[in-house]
Structure 1
């Protein structure tokens, strides 16, 4: 093939790939966002040329923070995925916080009134102008309905969805060009990861869907007879795609041990209730809560565990969850063959995996595997560099066999990291893998043979 024909092929391919970006650029806001992105990248590049050269992970983090919502979320994904990204990037992006200066209240008023079609005073008895929380996608305010019910209002920031669409189309096109120019990267499926992240973040912008998640989670609790946990009930008459009004919970975060003692004599049992509820949701609910950080789990005044903020949820096939359990179990027992079989089940691939070849490749790590306690794989603060490297090596070996671990794999690991922090505060003597008070398979009819219990 001649150079000219190769260039023509690339041009033709780009024509087919750029439709999403063109769609974003057709709006004034989309074009302005692309210009803003290029401006930030240009300033960072100029600083580099002029001698301002921090370590690459630090430079990337500050660039992401300058670019805002989409890139901050991407940075948090990197920070929570030690099995996917190099250690120095994971550590640096721990500093990438989703804290955004609050919007002036008149923006909140305008959005509520535009979405609900009435003046604020006709909709609510009271709305506190001072926000309870302010993040990159939404801002939360306490309020009272006309009937006196205490609620919170989650209000989407103006233009967030358009920014996400523009940013992700830009990132996707860049990833596809990179994969095209460096075919060896295609197995890592950079563009596939970006597509999955985009889908998750756009779902987070749909407050009608989040309200449906709240209702579905409470229905799951009722259907399973679970009286130890609860989620806020949405007020559908005061909810749209950009405004979510829901029941307000009163309680304390699960990690505030000093205050928890005023609510319960047995913090460990509270944690066990939360864990068993979450494990049960993996198999018996349509989704699992995928953001159980300290602000999203509360001990309520009546002793129940409150699960809040269902903007980020995950869904996992039973086979994939079984595969993860077998993966941890195989590491603990040093069973290389079972580890390879589990990786093939967990991962996403368009091609049939040669399990024998995968087993042989994993055997090269056998010395390191034999020294790892499986619980160390999910224990963030007890983790060490060797475990992070081992997970990265396993992921790389999987990629070499066409295996791409799905977004749910990272989401599940992230929740285990959160839960381990709860364990360290509330029940440091507890081992999630062996404590008989925990059911990691959430009451499902069948347990995989010989696993964990």
Structure 2
């Protein structure tokens, strides 16, 4: 790891956090070697060895800044990475962050819109509706009288995010290099995906387009509301959108549950998410209960579209097959689909993976509606895959997170709702709908063009093949090793080694005969005679090796 001097404080801050929790459940599987290297030049205090609670981790993340708060929020829905006690504690990070002072809000709004806040808006409430790690939301009224919600990004948050993420990237690379656990769970991939999500979430122009796209995709659902942006009052740091009056799902009380039939709303909510994933390939990726509101007219509003997931056509089809297999408790088909959308190394335990998946699916068959949680099951499968050396597509973990959040919403609004059975019915309808959609003439156009080309060229090519067969002119070209050439080359090498050994023997013999002064032929020392012969042979061998071999290569 290359330590950049100006980042030393950031490294120290993160390393101190790791060392503090090195003996807790959260790092119980970490590599000692990686931690030892991270701990270089760091003194372990008594505090690092004492018991640390999940609640303490939450406070530490808040103190470390918005980047770590956002990472904590993301990790709060990752049971494949963290123990349950930490997940519950990190969930409190969803709302509990410090407010931005109104003076700072006013400054940002006026800089972004290029006008006074009093000119842009008829009224602008100083108290925020909500405050988050990236920004906060205020209610306002446009000059037209339209009520809007204005989301304002925290000053300098993008720069801080990028700096912190760069630091974490370097440290995650180190962890993957030295920790088998970090490598097995793809910590570097997790961080890359997190970076991608967080950077996109900082661009409010992108979120505005997400709101428009999702609103269009879900316009057929009567009970689903997507607030639409007001583009003239929006920028990369400000997002002005429809004001939706209502309450968070988490604040729905017991009396409301008896007055409202939530099953109709949940039916639409579940179907809308399955449509997003399987048909549209574009889904709201963060439907935690804090981002799903119950409106005054008893509809469900989906808020905060900074985080979206995209699924390729092939992956959409595989997910449909996977969810249908789960609904039918077909463990063999489930493991087959998971392997098809994954990568595995040479040491992957495929047989063990299939056994574990089959066991999970069969166990789920014996659970009642309240206990059956497809999201949690998918995340468990992802964890088992990592343990067996299989890396499932990251989109599947996002799918697990979406379904896990839906499970939580159902548990709040209608605990007795049979989500698994209703999903099965919706999926079967979607399978028929998808097949009908793919059978449309326009979807066959590309295939028809290729089929037309094949049909046009096939008779001519078949005639050519049969003519060549009839005239005994059918040839099969195979690039293979030329045995004769190989043998000749090998023999040439052997001969040259033999000649070289003879020359060496002549030179050594000549050196020894130099000690016999009276041994001469025609007045020349016999030693010198053999030395001359060795020199001639040596020059001849050099000629053969350099000149002749070069001529041979050119001819070849």
Cα distance, 1:439–1:353 mapped onto 2, change above 3 Å:
farther
- Residue 396 of structure 1 corresponds to 386
Q: Counterparts of 1:389 and 1:246 in 2: how far apart (Å)?
A: 34
**1:268-303 deviation per Cα after TM superposition (whole angstroms, max 9, x unaligned):** 212222222222122333521112223322333444
Q: Determine helix, strand or coil for the equivalent of 1:227.
A: coil
Higher RCO (Cα < 8 Å, 6 or more apart): 1
Q: Counterparts of 1:411 and 1:337 in 2: how far apart (Å)?
A: 23
Cα distance, 1:62–1:325 mapped onto 2, change above 3 Å:
farther
Deviation of 1:65 after TM superposition, in Å, equals: 2.9
Deviation of 1:126 after TM superposition, in Å, equals: 0.6
Deviation of 1:412 after TM superposition, in Å, equals: 2.2
Cα distance, 1:72–1:280 mapped onto 2, change above 3 Å:
same
Count of residue pairs the alignment pairs up: 408
Question: Which of 73, 77, 81 is the matching residue for 1:80?
Answer: 77
- Residue 50 of structure 1 corresponds to 46
Asked if structure 1 preserves the Cα contact closer than 8 Å seen for 2:382 and 2:392, the reply is no
**1:230-278 deviation per Cα after TM superposition (whole angstroms, max 9, x unaligned):** 211211111000011111012333451457469x742221222222222
Q: Counterparts of 2:111 and 2:207 in 1: how far apart (Å)?
A: 20
Long gaps (5+) in structure 1: 1-13, 26-30, 449-453
Q: Does 1:362 align with 2:336?
A: no
Question: Which of 104, 111, 114 is the matching residue for 2:111?
Answer: 114
Cα distance, 1:102–1:363 mapped onto 2, change above 3 Å:
same
- Residue 420 of structure 1 corresponds to 407
**1:104-146 deviation per Cα after TM superposition (whole angstroms, max 9, x unaligned):** 1010000001111111111111100000001110110000001
**CA-based RMSD:** 3.6
- Residue 126 of structure 2 corresponds to 129
Deviation of 1:432 after TM superposition, in Å, equals: 1.7
Deviation of 1:433 after TM superposition, in Å, equals: 1.9
Cα distance, 1:230–1:91 mapped onto 2, change above 3 Å:
closer
- Residue 421 of structure 2 corresponds to 434
- Residue 4 of structure 1 corresponds to none
Q: Counterparts of 1:73 and 1:441 in 2: how far apart (Å)?
A: 37
Question: Which of 108, 130, 152 is the matching residue for 1:155?
Answer: 152
Cα distance, 1:89–1:346 mapped onto 2, change above 3 Å:
farther
- Residue 236 of structure 1 corresponds to 231
Q: Counterparts of 1:323 and 1:261 in 2: how far apart (Å)?
A: 36
- Residue 341 of structure 1 corresponds to 336
Q: Determine helix, strand or coil for the equivalent of 1:311.
A: coil
Asked if structure 2 preserves the Cα contact closer than 8 Å seen for 1:203 and 1:311, the reply is yes
Q: Does 1:297 align with 2:292?
A: yes
Q: Counterparts of 2:246 and 2:55 in 1: how far apart (Å)?
A: 37
Moved more, 289-298 or 207-216: 289-298
Question: Which of 142, 145, 149 is the matching residue for 1:145?
Answer: 142
Q: Counterparts of 1:196 and 1:424 in 2: how far apart (Å)?
A: 29
Deviation of 1:360 after TM superposition, in Å, equals: 4.3
Deviation of 1:81 after TM superposition, in Å, equals: 1.6
Q: Does 1:308 align with 2:311?
A: no
Asked if structure 2 preserves the Cα contact closer than 8 Å seen for 1:41 and 1:63, the reply is no
Q: Determine helix, strand or coil for the equivalent of 2:151.
A: strand
Deviation of 1:100 after TM superposition, in Å, equals: 1.2
Q: Determine helix, strand or coil for the equivalent of 2:244.
A: coil
Q: Does 1:35 align with 2:9?
A: yes
TM-score, with structure 1 as normaliser: 0.77
Q: Determine helix, strand or coil for the equivalent of 2:152.
A: strand
Asked if structure 1 preserves the Cα contact closer than 8 Å seen for 2:224 and 2:269, the reply is yes
Q: Does 1:410 align with 2:400?
A: no
Deviation of 1:429 after TM superposition, in Å, equals: 2.7
Asked if structure 2 preserves the Cα contact closer than 8 Å seen for 1:82 and 1:388, the reply is no
Cα distance, 1:335–1:442 mapped onto 2, change above 3 Å:
closer
Deviation of 1:440 after TM superposition, in Å, equals: 4.0
Q: Counterparts of 2:308 and 2:238 in 1: how far apart (Å)?
A: 19
Moved more, 370-379 or 419-428: 370-379
Asked if structure 1 preserves the Cα contact closer than 8 Å seen for 2:379 and 2:401, the reply is no
Q: Determine helix, strand or coil for the equivalent of 1:320.
A: helix
Q: Does 1:71 align with 2:60?
A: no
Cα distance, 1:109–1:140 mapped onto 2, change above 3 Å:
same
TM-score, with structure 2 as normaliser: 0.64
Asked if structure 1 preserves the Cα contact closer than 8 Å seen for 2:332 and 2:358, the reply is no
- Residue 451 of structure 1 corresponds to none
Question: Which of 362, 372, 378 is the matching residue for 2:364?
Answer: 372
Q: Determine helix, strand or coil for the equivalent of 2:364.
A: coil
Cα distance, 1:200–1:392 mapped onto 2, change above 3 Å:
closer
**1:373-422 deviation per Cα after TM superposition (whole angstroms, max 9, x unaligned):** 48756278xx8xxx799546523344x13x2440x333322222222232
Q: Determine helix, strand or coil for the equivalent of 2:218.
A: helix
Q: Does 1:446 align with 2:434?
A: yes
- Residue 501 of structure 2 corresponds to none
Aligned pairs for 1:178-257 (under 5 A) are 178-182=175-179, 185-222=182-219, 225-255=220-250, 256-257=252-253
Cα distance, 1:424–1:379 mapped onto 2, change above 3 Å:
farther
- Residue 10 of structure 1 corresponds to none
Cα distance, 1:371–1:285 mapped onto 2, change above 3 Å:
closer
